[in-house]
Amino acid sequence: MLCTLALAACDKQVAQKITGTLASESGPVANASLRLYRSYQSCNGDYAQAQTDASGRFLFSTESTKGGISVVTQEIALCTEQMGAWKPLWSTITEGGAPKLVITCKPKTVDEESCDIQAIYDTEDA
């Protein structure tokens, strides 16, 4: 048990900015309400909220856990309001601890996901 406590103590919380863009077939999606949940494929629990600007850009300020010795994963669900209910637009499981994540969402095609994600660890270059 002491070993488990020692390993968990190596993990730390880091500030995280999650930015991105949301587009449809006709162009950027403006004034869309978005929620970011810490879950996979579910719009339940605690969330951060954002709204897209005229160019479809959004920003969430949150925290992530950076693993000290082992890999820590981060579950993300990006949700939109549809007919009064919050529905998953896209979700992923990624490595935790990145100070910045960039999500780009575009219209779905048969062979593509609707969004792509990029983790940025060197925030001076971001």
The pLDDT value recorded for residue 14 is 86
Q: How many CA atoms lie within 13 A of 59 on its CB side?
A: 4
pLDDT digits (tens, 9 = 90+) for 44-71: 999 999 999 999 999 999 988 887 777 7
Residue 122 pLDDT more than 90?
A: no
Residue 126 pLDDT more than 60?
A: no
The answer to whether the pTM exceeds 0.85 is no
Give the C-alpha separation, 97 to 36, whole Å.
Answer: 16
Domains of the chain are: 11-120 (2.60.40)
The pLDDT value recorded for residue 124 is 57
